[in-house]
């Protein structure tokens, strides 16, 4: 790794790649995140009804997703918006897991809810707006559940790594980093997708990195191309919003794919996923080539 990055990120030593720790495999039910398998996480922004969740879960499962997403506690910018079904939503997620075998990821917004959410979810999501809520992060880390840590919308890579370090420092090595777009001067999209951030994270940290093309773009038309870019940048997986009828979704409908769009995207991504070479593999290949070149001299 570049000396300058080692210096820049010296505050978060445990998240950095070392010769002894090149990648972290995050175990979730019967698979790992951060290994050879590309992991797709899909589902609605919010858990709305039993039927909405179950048909979505069944569909994304058939299309190759490994994890069902769905918010039971929603961080909304208006006090008058839908804020999630709470415990009822968690129970529906657990039911969907039972019926499909998918793992479940859902956001925890408050320290008070950590134990309850951990009882139902396989992975705890720390949302963009909570990335700097260190007491929440510590409480979530101590449950021992894997943590899906979303980059704050105004957070630098260093800020994201500092929050990840909080998880590791609390005895939980299982962090999945998520690039979900950041605020810039651009207003044509909801956020600006930082593909370079994904590439950089894969160079400097041993933690798995996933891309969220839904929140990054805000528009469903842009989700498939951003997903491709995420894969090409080295992401270990995707988290995508899918809804049976996006125009009627209770939150984030404009960026949600319907089932046909999700299927088309998964088909479109297959060759990109097949081409993917995780960065640790690339590094080993480069080292082997360099050694061969020296031996030939
Ligand atoms: C979400 O995943 O629905 C969500 C609220 O994401 P973010 O925290 O990235 O805005
Ligand atoms: Mn959403």
Summarize pLDDT for 129-140 with one digit per residue, the tens.
999 999 999 999
- What is the number of domains present in the chain? 1
In short, whether 256's Cβ falls inside 6 Å of ligand 1 is no
Q: What is the pLDDT of residue 278?
A: 61
Taking 80 as the threshold, does the pLDDT of residue 204 lie above it? Answer: yes
Q: What is the pLDDT of residue 76?
A: 85
In short, whether 127's Cβ falls inside 6 Å of ligand 1 is yes
Instruction: List the single range of 68-82, 102-116, 130-144, 218-232 with lowest mean pLDDT.
Output: 68-82
For the chain, how many residues are written?
297
Q: What is the pLDDT of residue 282?
A: 59
Q: In terms of DSSP H, where are the helices of the chain?
A: 3-8, 50-62, 87-100, 114-120, 134-142, 157-169, 195-204, 213-217, 223-233, 259-275, 279-296
In short, whether 215's Cβ falls inside 6 Å of ligand 1 is yes
Q: What is the pLDDT of residues 213-227, one digit of tens each?
A: 999 999 999 999 999
Among protein residues, the one whose CA lies closest to atom 1 of ligand 1: 45
Among protein residues, the one whose CA lies closest to atom 3 of ligand 1: 45
Taking 70 as the threshold, does the pLDDT of residue 285 lie above it? Answer: no
Tell me, what CATH number does 62's domain have? Answer: 3.20.20.70
In this prediction, residues 141-162 reach a mean pLDDT of: 98
Cβ atoms of 215 and 181 closer than 8 Å: yes
In the predicted model, what is the mean pLDDT of the chain?
95
In this prediction, residues 242-271 reach a mean pLDDT of: 98
User: What is the pTM for the complete model shown?
Assistant: 0.94
Taking 80 as the threshold, does the pLDDT of residue 183 lie above it? Answer: yes
Q: How many CB atoms lie within 10 A of CB 295?
A: 7
Q: Which atom of ligand 1 is nearest to the CA of 251?
A: 3
Question: In the structure, what pLDDT confidence band is assigned to residue 297 with cuts at 50, 70 and 90?
Answer: low
Q: What is the pLDDT of residue 41?
A: 99
Beta bridge partners of 182: 192
Q: Of 159, 163, 183, which Cα lies nearest the Cα of 172?
A: 163
Cβ atoms of 125 and 145 closer than 8 Å: no
Range of the domain at 97: 3-296
What's the gap in Å between 56 CA and the centre of ligand 1? 18
């Amino acid at each position: 790794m570049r000396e300058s990055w080692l210096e820049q990120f010296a505050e978060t030593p445990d998240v950095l790649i070392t010769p002894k720790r090149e990648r972290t495999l995050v175990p979730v039910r019967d698979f790992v995140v951060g290994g050879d398998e590309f992991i797709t996480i899909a589902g609605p922004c919010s858990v709305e009804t039993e039927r909405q969740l179950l048909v979505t879960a069944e569909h994304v499962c058939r299309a190759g997703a490994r994890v069902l997403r769905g918010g039971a506690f929603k961080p909304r910018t208006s006090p008058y918006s839908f804020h999630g079904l709470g415990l009822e939503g968690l129970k529906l997620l657990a039911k969907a897991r039972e019926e499909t075998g998918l793992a479940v990821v859902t956001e925890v917004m408050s320290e008070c809810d950590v134990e309850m959410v951990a009882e139902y979810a396989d992975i705890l999501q720390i949302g963009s707006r909570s990335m700097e809520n260190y007491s929440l992060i510590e409480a979530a880390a101590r449950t021992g559940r894997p943590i899906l840590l979303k980059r704050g919308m105004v957070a630098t890579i260093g800020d994201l790594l500092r929050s990840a370090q909080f998880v590791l420092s609390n005895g939980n090595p299982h962090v999945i980093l998520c690039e979900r777009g950041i605020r810039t001067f651009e207003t044509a999209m909801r956020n600006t997708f930082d593909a370079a951030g994904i590439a950089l994270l894969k160079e400097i940290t041993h933690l798995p990195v996933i891309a969220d093309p839904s929140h990054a773009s805000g528009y469903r038309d842009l989700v498939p191309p951003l997903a491709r870019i995420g894969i090409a940048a080295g992401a270990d997986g995707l988290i995508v919003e899918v809804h049976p009828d996006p125009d009627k979704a209770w939150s984030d409908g404009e960026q949600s794919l319907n089932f046909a769009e999700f299927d088309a995207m998964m088909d479109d991504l297959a060759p990109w996923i097949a081409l993917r070479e995780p960065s640790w593999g690339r590094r080993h290949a480069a080292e082997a080539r360099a050694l061969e070149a020296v031996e030939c001299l």
